[in-house]
Amino acid sequence: MAILPIIETPDPRLRVKSKPVEQVDDALRRFMDDMLETMYDAPGIGLAAIQVGEPIRVLVIDLQENDQKQPRYFVNPEIIWASEELSSYAEGCLSVPDVYGDVERPARIRVRYLDYNGEQREEELDDLLATCLQHEMDHLEGILFIDHLSKLKRDMLLRKLEKNRRQRGAA
């Protein structure tokens, strides 16, 4: 497996709408394994293919609850139902490092996707898994979590991100 470079904002590739995957094959499974390894190394709990420069509708998630790895693979995910009830989480992103913002999203969703083996699945998700999946699915549409924030909050976070970059560069 390989650690892939993660694209950071303001890279315009993060704004590209990802294309559906035609089939789940060994090459795609290797790529998803590399994505998972990259996510663990970062470290993070979710990663969309576009974040490593591939504009395809693929994402990986592992909430690593109880310090147990439980990788999830989502190919061509689509939300087919969302609750009216909302929940708010302080979201962060590997492509917008070291900044966080409260984002409201549906508390529960029903999603349809292909799994690691190309089998179609449908399930209802809630809590952090539902939030994480919606966050990663936004990437497939070229949307970042900061796009859900007010202009004032977004601008403040982007200034903080730029300051952090300058400090990393000086170190």
Decide if 100 is inside a domain: yes
Catalytic residue numbers read 136
Dump pLDDT digits (tens) for 10-29. Answer: 999 999 999 999 999 999 99
User: Is position 123 within any domain?
Assistant: yes
**Domain containing residue 147:** 12-170
pLDDT in tens, 76-103: 999 999 999 999 999 999 999 989 999 9
Instruction: Tell me, yes or no, whether 4 lies in a domain.
Output: no
Query: Domain for residue 68, yes or no?
Result: yes
* 3 within a domain of the structure (yes/no): no
Cα–Cα distance measured from residue 140 to residue 110, given in angstroms and rounded to the nearest whole number: 17
Q: Which residues, 6 or more positions from 33, have their beta carbon under 8 angstroms from its beta carbon?
A: 1
Count of domains observed in the chain: 1
